[in-house]
Amino acid sequence: MALTTVRSFSLHSPINHHHRHHRRTTTATVNHSTSTHFNLNLKLTTHSHLSFINNNNNKRSTPLTVSHSGGNGVGGNSGGSGGGGGGDNNNNGDNNDDDAGEKNKAEALLVLAEAGRTLESIPKDIAASIDAGKIPGSIVKRYLELEKSVVFRWLLQFSGFKERLLADDLFLTKVGIECGVGIFTKSAAELEKRRENFSKELDFVCADVIMALIADFMLVWLPAPTVSLRAPMAVNAGQVAKFFAGCPDNAFQVALAGTSYSFLQRIGAIVRNGAKLFAVGTGASLVGTGVTNALINARKAIDKSFAVEADEDIPILSTSVAYGVYMSVSSNLRYQVLAGVIEQRMLEPLLHQHKLILSAICFAVRTGNTFIGSLMWVDYARWIGIQRSRE
């Protein structure tokens, strides 16, 4: 029996079109109108090419009908009905991520080509992320724009600044806003809450302002959205470490194409940042209250009248722990919402072409948030008893 022609053609299924790495071999039976029976070996390759060998000597053209079932399987017969699907649904998310990764890589390489750059001319972590399809062309374009500034080029050498500046090119502006207005807003809030007792409670005021200035930078740094350029965790790393490594830096930040965060991972971002801010708040308070107590004692030795007013030191340990709890709960949630929801999801999409207006609105929002936080701290400190109102 002679072996006759080999014919190939392509099928583009709306479901299997994206399953580029999936291969399946299926055997289908087609019946001739002349009742001649022969077998076709069908093979679905990477690009869904369907090839077959006709072992029948009949040279007449035989129509072939292949139908797609509700699942991921492929089946066919002369009646055009197909059999049930396979078990590929578990791989759908991975395949979609692969497609997004390939698109990201193509976009990023195009941006580099338009700028006359190559992967070898940019930092290794960014090049590796491009090659892995982790970052889209918009992030690469932002990097090239930031690189033109001497200040930003220097900051981009540090991975923490790099990840935050790539996610938000106004990150440094927000740090300046937070630290620049912090001392004024916190002092104003202290005056508003203490009023006529402001001078009598000046030691408390100094402690609060010092603690706040130390913590301000971290309150911008930790909850800021980032573009992750970190290498994957080691295989032998613990499950807890792997989980938190996969969490975003901001619970509400927008995920890049090809990246997704589960609800549990976003909750994990709040927990992880809360733990960090507790350590930051406690440490800042230890420094702030310690320095303030030293200044009060020095003034007592010089000014005897002040010794009557400031008759007791600020409780260092209890104040430090209380401030750590306050930062891990109140400050953590407020700054997560501020950076991830108000700024990234609401203001930036509307004003991304108007940086000056965006910066002005961020200034107003962050100033108000700082002032509200100071009012809340005074009430909280008095509520738990670490500070008392002096009559």
First to last CA, the chain: 111
Domain check: are 271 and 177 in the same one? yes
Q: Is residue 259 included in any domain, yes or no?
A: yes
Last residue of a domain, one of 87, 105, 120: 87
Helix (H, G, I), strand (E, B) or coil at 53: strand
What are the Cα distances from residue 154, in Å, to 162, 164, 172?
10, 14, 13
Same domain, residue pair 264 and 367: yes
Positive or negative: CA dihedral 291, 294, 299, 300: positive
Mean pLDDT over 239-253 rounds to 93
**Same domain, residue pair 67 and 112:** no
Q: What is the DSSP letter of 120?
A: G
Residues 204 and 142 in one domain: no
Q: Is residue 155 part of a domain?
A: no
Question: Are 74 and 119 within one domain?
Answer: no
Within a domain: 390: no
Domain match, 33 and 76 both: yes
Host domain of residue 19: 6-87
Residue 157 maps to a domain: no
In degrees, to the nearest 5, what angle opens at C-alpha 112 toward C-alphas 340 and 109?
80
> What's the whole-model pTM score?
0.68
Does 293 share its domain with 247? yes
d(CA 270, CA 223) in angstroms, rounded, equals 9
Residue 18 has pLDDT above 50, yes or no: no
Distance CA 173, CA 237 (A): 36
- Same domain, residue pair 125 and 73: no
Q: For residue 156, is it within any domain? A: no
| Burial label, 246 (beta-carbon count in 10 A; 0-12, 13-18, 19+) | middle
Residues 334 and 194 in one domain: yes
> Is residue 323 in a domain?
yes
Q: Could you tell me if residue 354 is inside a domain? A: yes
240 and 371 housed in the same domain: yes
Among 87, 117, 138, the domain-final residue is 87
For the chain, what is the domain count? 3
Dihedral sign for Cα 164, 165, 169, 171, please.
positive
Q: Round to whole Å and give the CA distance between 373 and 331.
A: 7
Helices (H) and strands (E) in the chain, counts: 14, 6
Examine the fold and report which residue of 87, 120, 137 is the final residue of a domain before the chain moves on. 87
Which of the 8 DSSP states describes residue 119? G
Q: Quick one: 295 and 354 in the same domain?
A: yes
The pLDDT score that the predictor gives to residue 6 is: 40
Whole-number Å distance between alpha carbons of 40 and 42: 6
366 found inside a domain: yes
pLDDT digits (tens, 9 = 90+) for 321-352: 998 999 999 999 999 999 999 999 999 999 98
Tell whether 223 and 348 lie within a shared domain: yes
In tens, the pLDDT along 191-219 reads: 887 777 787 777 778 777 777 777 788 99
Q: What is the mean pLDDT of the chain?
A: 76
Least Cα distance to 123 among 140, 105, 106, 109 occurs for: 140
**β-pair partners for 37:** 31
Structure-derived torsion over alpha carbons of residues 183, 189, 193, 196, reported in degrees to the nearest 10: 60
**76-101 residue pLDDT tens:** 433 433 333 334 444 555 566 678 88
